[in-house]
Structure 1
Amino acid sequence: MNKDQVKGTLKDAAGKVQETTGKVIGSTEQQLKGIRKQAVGQTQKAVGDVKEVLKDATRK
């Protein structure tokens, strides 16, 4: 795993918590911020995944 994969996974998890918290307290704004954070995290993780594939491909 590289740092982008780790950071992306953490952002995704934090976004899920924020979205759920927003639902519990009835805050649409917090829900949207959580969804946005999840999208950023998933994108960052995907970038990290691509980096790993490229790194593995160059080793062979």
Structure 2
Amino acid sequence: MKSEQVKGVLAQAAGKAQDVFGNLTGDERTQMEGKARQAAGELQERYGDLLDEVATFTQQRPRTTLMVLAGLTLTVGWLLARRRG
């Protein structure tokens, strides 16, 4: 598990605890903040998953990665040149 994934899981747990605390005390704001923290933690965990997948793909297929990056560079360069002209 990468650091972004761990941070996401921890944020989800903290958000859940905050949500439960808000529910117990009847504080809707605390509850909503907890739910928001849970959602942010889930996004962060998924971002970590994506980083992990990209790293794995890059290691397994370095030539494909270089070709994709070259294609993107050419496309962006063409679009910028077209915009100026």
Relative contact order, CA 8 A, sep 6+: which one is greater? 1
1:59 deviates by: 1.5
1:33 aligns with 2:30: no
- Which protein is bigger by CA-based radius of gyration? 2
1:26 deviates by: 0.5
* Counterpart for residue 65 of structure 2: none
If the length of structure 2 is used for normalisation, what is the TM-score?
A: 0.69
1:2 deviates by: 1.0
* Counterpart for residue 57 of structure 1: 57
DSSP-derived class of the 1:35 partner: helix
* Counterpart for residue 15 of structure 2: 15
Identity %: 37
1:12 deviates by: 0.4
Q: Deviations over 1:4-27 (max 9, x none)?
A: 100000000100000001000110
Question: Which residues of structure 2 form unaligned runs of 5+?
Answer: 61-85
If the length of structure 1 is used for normalisation, what is the TM-score?
A: 0.96
Question: Which residues of structure 1 form unaligned runs of 5+?
Answer: none
